[in-house]
């Protein structure tokens, strides 16, 4: 099986990469390729689409950290993002926000969207994925840090987590018809910027541990 691992930054998957190098020295490494896209949904979509167009993969995995709107998903929790959306894609109308669906620029069921979201309707059969909380995410260019905008986003879309790359990755996989999963670890709660509460190292350690188990279970 050929696997493509997609991450925004090398730091987010550094422990996993080291473990794969160790496995390679023992002759046990699976056929895994790692691609670092850079930060943001545009970079994720462009680089992932390019890779999937050049070669055929049996599975694509997007690994990274995320913020959580859901208090039940505390820092360090690893989740499987089964649907994603782009809340900033639309237009302002005074104090109101109009989605691209409301603007008539996209019908909610137009491929690869399903009811306005990007949905992983064919989750890979993997026991590790099955054990992870399945959550709904959003992908943003500007990470939330304002109480008013957080409340409005929760009201409109009821997301559980947010990232800056997930929807771009999912869009590319859906249009290329490649089996995929977006797996993330919560590094912080979505709230006013509070670096002292971030748990990035803990999140990365948890993410890479689960990712290693996932790859071994393929």
Q: Which of 20-24, 75-79, 112-116, 173-177 has the lowest mean pLDDT?
A: 20-24
Across 43-62, average pLDDT: 97
| Torsion sign, CA atoms 39, 173, 212, 83 | positive
- Which pLDDT score is estimated for 109? 67
Across 170-176, average pLDDT: 97
**Element of type H or E holding 169:** helix 166-176
Homologous superfamily (CATH) of 2-216 is Nucleoside phosphorylase domain (3.40.50.1580)
Question: In the chain, what are the domain boundaries?
Answer: 2-216
**Element of type H or E holding 206:** helix 200-216
Per the document, the length of the chain is 218
- Which pLDDT score is estimated for 24? 55
Higher pLDDT among residues 1 and 162, named by residue:
162
Q: State the CB neighbour count (10 A cutoff) for residue 49.
A: 17
Q: Which of 195, 174, 205, 170 is nearest to 67 (CA)?
A: 195
- Which pLDDT score is estimated for 106? 73
- Which pLDDT score is estimated for 158? 96
Does residue 119 sit in helix, strand or coil? strand
Per-residue buried b or exposed e for 142-162, using 16+ beta carbons within 10 Å of the residue's own CB: eebeeeeebeebbeebebbbb
Provide the β-strand partners of residue 139: 163
User: CA–CA distance from 176 to each of 48, 149, 171, 172, 217 (Å)?
Assistant: 10, 33, 9, 6, 24
Task: Say yes or no to pLDDT of 98 above 90.
Answer: no
- Half-sphere exposure of residue 95: CA atoms within 13 angstroms, side-chain side: 2
Task: Say yes or no to pLDDT of 30 above 80.
Answer: no
Task: Say yes or no to pLDDT of 130 above 70.
Answer: yes
Task: Say yes or no to pLDDT of 206 above 90.
Answer: yes
For residues 122 and 124, give the distance between their C-alpha atoms in angstroms, rounded to a whole number. Answer: 6
Kindly give the pairing relationship between strand 31-36 and strand 2-7.
parallel
| Contact yes or no for 205/215 (Cβ under 8 A) | no
- Which pLDDT score is estimated for 180? 98
Report field, pTM of the whole predicted structure over 0.85: yes
- Which pLDDT score is estimated for 181? 98
- Half-sphere exposure of residue 171: CA atoms within 13 angstroms, side-chain side: 19
- Which pLDDT score is estimated for 69? 98
- Which pLDDT score is estimated for 107? 65
- Which pLDDT score is estimated for 102? 83
């Amino acid at each position: 099986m050929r696997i493509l691992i997609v991450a925004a930054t090398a730091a987010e998957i550094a422990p996993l990469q080291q473990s794969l190098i160790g496995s390679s020295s023992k002759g046990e490494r699976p056929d895994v390729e790692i691609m670092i896209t850079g930060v943001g949904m545009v970079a994720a979509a462009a680089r992932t689409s390019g890779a999937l167009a050049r070669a055929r993969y049996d599975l694509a995995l997007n690994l990274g950290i995320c913020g959580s709107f859901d208090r039940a998903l505390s820092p360090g929790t690893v989740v499987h993002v089964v649907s994603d959306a782009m809340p900033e894609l639309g237009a302002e109308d005074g104090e109101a926000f109009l989605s691209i669906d409301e603007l008539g620029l996209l019908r909610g069921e137009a491929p690869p969207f399903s009811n306005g979201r990007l949905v992983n309707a064919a989750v890979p059969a993997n026991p590790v994925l099955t054990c992870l909380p399945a959550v709904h995410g959003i992908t943003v260019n500007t990470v939330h840090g304002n109480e008013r905008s957080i409340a409005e986003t929760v009201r409109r879309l009821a997301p559980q987590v947010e990232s800056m790359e997930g929807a771009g990755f999912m869009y590319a996989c859906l249009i290329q018809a490649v089996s995929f999963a977006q797996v993330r670890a919560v590094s912080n709660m979505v709230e006013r910027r509070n670096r002292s509460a971030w748990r990035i190292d803990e999140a990365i350690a948890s993410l890479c541990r689960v990712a290693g188990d996932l790859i071994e279970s393929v």
